[in-house]
Amino acid sequence: MPNPMLTIAVRAARAAGNLISRNLGQGTFAVEEKAKNDLVTDIDKECERTVASILLKAYRDHSILGEENQVQGNKDSEYKWIIDPIDGTTNFVKGIPHSSVSIALQHKGITTVGVVYDPIANELFTAARGEGAYMNGHRIRVSSLQSLDSAIVCTAFPVRYRERMNDYLPLFAKLINNCADVRRTGCASLDLCYTACGRFDAYLEQGLKPWDFSAGELIVREAGGVATDFMGTPNFTRTGNIVVGNPYLVQALLNKVCDPQNLAGTLR
């Protein structure tokens, strides 16, 4: 039986995805810098309003947490939709075809539905709690690799928190020394989904926000992966410091790269 909330989330993600693909590379939208290295365009706001209006049309009593704060819904609801209307805004602004719409639903704080849609590649990643993870309707699984030295690991750099760079760079050096190669794509939700389907063997990033990781983290777990913070605890939901992959690779990353005993302050 199709999950009705997942069906609505997919409809909303596709509608916003159409806006992204129609506007990509057109250069006709306004761009603002919300904070240093943190962009927002008119299209981000329009995507968020589009997603929220489809969700609220179906579930008018639910609450909405959107990155661009366009719509709030009923703040007292047990159901909260978490939306990143364009994840990968910098890619979108530069005309780099790698962005997504990310939508998660939490019920009493537990993520129950996750949808990440890449409108350029037309790849739809979905999961409902306990029901597995899918890409375009086909079941996906995390990589089965057990050793870090042949792993392709995705990461990112703390460009919005330059003061964290000195803490991060030693970790990055250990990452390069311990795995086969690294990637940085500029779209955290797709980094999570690429890990869920085994394109990346693992992924770690610090300082993510709930709209960046909520949908993708459920998709990774439903694909057989695990998610922890850099200390090996579930605290990533608070800090946004996240490590994902199959259990062997996450353990190897914690042991050889994160080194929880000696982890620098901002990475804890």
Is 67 among the annotated ligand-binding positions?
yes
Contact 47, 20 (CB under 8 A): yes
The burial class, CB within 10 Å (0-12 / 13-18 / 19+), for 97 is middle
Query: Judged by CB under 6 A, does residue 88 bind ligand IPD?
Result: yes
By C-beta, is 134 or 211 nearer to Ca ion? Answer: 211
Contact 142, 220 (CB under 8 A): yes
Size of the site for ligand IPD (CB under 6 A): 12
The distance of closest approach from Cβ of residue 87 to ligand IPD in the complex, given in angstroms and rounded to an integer, is: 4
Integer Cα distance of 238 and 182 in angstroms:
25
Query: Judged by CB under 6 A, does residue 186 bind ligand IPD?
Result: yes
By C-beta, is 44 or 222 nearer to Ca ion? Answer: 44
What does the chain come to in residues? 268
143 binds, among Ca ion, ligand IPD, none (CB under 5 to 8 A by kind): none
Nearest CA to 241 out of 158, 177, 169, 159 is that of 158
Is 32 among the annotated ligand-binding positions?
no
Please name the residues in contact with 109: beta carbons below 8 A apart, sequence gap of 6 or more.
none
Nearest CA to 225 out of 198, 187, 252 is that of 198
Query: Judged by CB under 6 A, does residue 156 bind ligand IPD?
Result: yes
Is 163 among the annotated ligand-binding positions?
no
Specify the pairing of strand 63-66 against strand 152-154: unpaired
Long-range contacts of 132-139 (CB under 8 A, 24+ apart): 132/222, 132/223, 133/196, 133/197, 133/218, 133/219, 133/220, 133/222, 133/223, 135/193, 135/197
Query: Judged by CB under 6 A, does residue 46 bind ligand IPD?
Result: no
202 to 221: interface string for Ca ion, x by CB under 5 A: ----------x---------
208 binds, among Ca ion, ligand IPD, none (CB under 5 to 8 A by kind): ligand IPD
The distance of closest approach from Cβ of residue 32 to ligand IPD in the complex, given in angstroms and rounded to an integer, is: 12
Specify the pairing of strand 63-66 against strand 38-41: unpaired
Which stretch, 18-26, 181-189, 192-200, 216-224, contacts ligand IPD (CB under 6 A)? 181-189
Chain contacts with Ca ion (rule: CB under 5 A): 67, 84, 86-87, 89, 212
Known binding-site positions: 67, 84, 86-87, 212
Known binding-site positions for Mg(2+): 67, 84, 86-87, 212
Chain contacts with ligand IPD (rule: CB under 6 A): 84, 87-90, 156, 186-188, 205, 208, 212
